[in-house]
């Protein structure tokens, strides 16, 4: 699933309207709609605000896996993810860089599984 689809899915699973999520994430409703419809890629800061507002970690929002239930939804960011997000804060993340970052993280976790 795309980033926008994941955000929309988490929002709907939590029974939030676009207005409610946008308010919690300090963005406009129209911008959130554009992100959910994959017309815009949010900055890392905005993505962090959205993930915090939804109570999910960044990895979940970037995941290609489809969620099957609300029990799949993490409730808060881990300290490690917070640290990674802090390092990325304020940096321009293009769709290509986002894809590379996700690929790197996936590879890193695959390597841990092999140990």
pLDDT score recorded for residue 18: 94
Comparing C-alpha atoms, which of 57, 56, 19 is closest to residue 36? 19
27-85 pLDDT, tens digit each: 999 999 999 999 998 998 999 999 999 988 888 888 776 544 444 444 555 676 667 77
Residue 96: which residues within 8 A CB-CB, separation 6 or more? none
Ramachandran angles phi, psi of 82, nearest 5°: -60, -40
Structure tokens at 84: 């990674």
The residue range of the domain holding 48 is 3-114
The total of structural domains in the chain comes to 1
pLDDT band per the 50, 70, 90 thresholds, residue 91: confident
Domain CATH for 86 = 1.10.260.40
């Amino acid at each position: 699933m795309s980033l926008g689809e994941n955000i929309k899915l988490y929002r709907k699973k939590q029974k939030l309207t676009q207005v409610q999520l946008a308010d919690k994430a300090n963005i406009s409703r129209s911008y959130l709609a554009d992100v959910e419809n994959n017309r815009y890629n949010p900055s890392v800061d905005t993505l962090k605000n959205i993930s915090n507002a939804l109570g999910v970690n960044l990895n979940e929002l970037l995941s290609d896996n489809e969620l099957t239930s609300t029990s799949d939804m993490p409730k808060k960011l881990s300290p490690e993810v917070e640290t990674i997000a802090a390092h990325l804060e304020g940096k321009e993340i293009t769709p290509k860089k986002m894809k590379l970052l996700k690929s790197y993280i996936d590879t890193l976790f695959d390597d841990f599984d092999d140990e």
